[in-house]
Amino acid sequence: MFCPSCGSELTEPNQSFCSKCGSKIEATLEIPEIKTKIPRQISINTSHSTLESTYLPISQQKSVKKEGRPGPYSKKCFGFALASIGLAIAGLSVGSGSMMFSMMSGFGNVLNGFGFLPGLIIAIVLNIIGLIFGILSRVNSSKARELEPVNTLEKIGSVFAIFGIISNAILIAVALIIAPVRFFLRNSFSPWDSYF
């Protein structure tokens, strides 16, 4: 060890004061180091290389998580993910059913013009709730990774949550695009056109 003030070498490892300048020496924990030899090129023009000693600190290894039984966050993650996918499927079936219902003739002009809107609104609400459940699943997944042992239920729930978030977001976007297009295409003609 060396004195931080004057740079002189200390004689004892647990020395409190420097024998040369008298400054107080604080005990510092030394990180274990590994001495390695790294070849280093002297210049670009020559191909000579010298070995230079370098000290690299040994880094602390991260603890490896053990596999175990699923905890409450993993179960919530999986449950919210399944609910998200279920709501995506329900929103798709309600939305497509309302579109098919409005396209069928024989239900009258009022149903053809406005019949798909209640079903489409219900589908959008279902998909928004599904999107929220997917996000809640991802939040519980991150808590499970942090606090619980590694388990397959959390991993499957995390993948299902991503699938639920993507599918619900796509279905919301499609419904928000189809609703005005379908409404304006249907109402672009005069209401009297169907009678003549």
Q: Are 147 and 113 in contact (CB under 8 A)?
A: no
Return the higher-pLDDT residue of 24 and 42.
24
Q: What angle do CA 113, 114, 119 make, to 5 degrees?
A: 135
pLDDT score of 133: 97
Q: Are 175 and 123 in contact (CB under 8 A)?
A: yes
Beta strands 33-41 and 49-57 are antiparallel
pLDDT score of 142: 92
Average of per-residue pLDDT values in the chain: 76
List, for residues 109-128, the tens digit of each pLDDT value. Answer: 444 455 677 888 899 999 99
Q: What angle do CA 158, 160, 166 make, to 5 degrees?
A: 105
Q: What is the pTM of this model?
A: 0.58
Q: How far apart (Å, rounded) are the C-alpha atoms in residues 59 and 33?
A: 9
List, for residues 163-183, the tens digit of each pLDDT value. Answer: 999 999 999 999 888 877 766
Return the higher-pLDDT residue of 164 and 98.
164
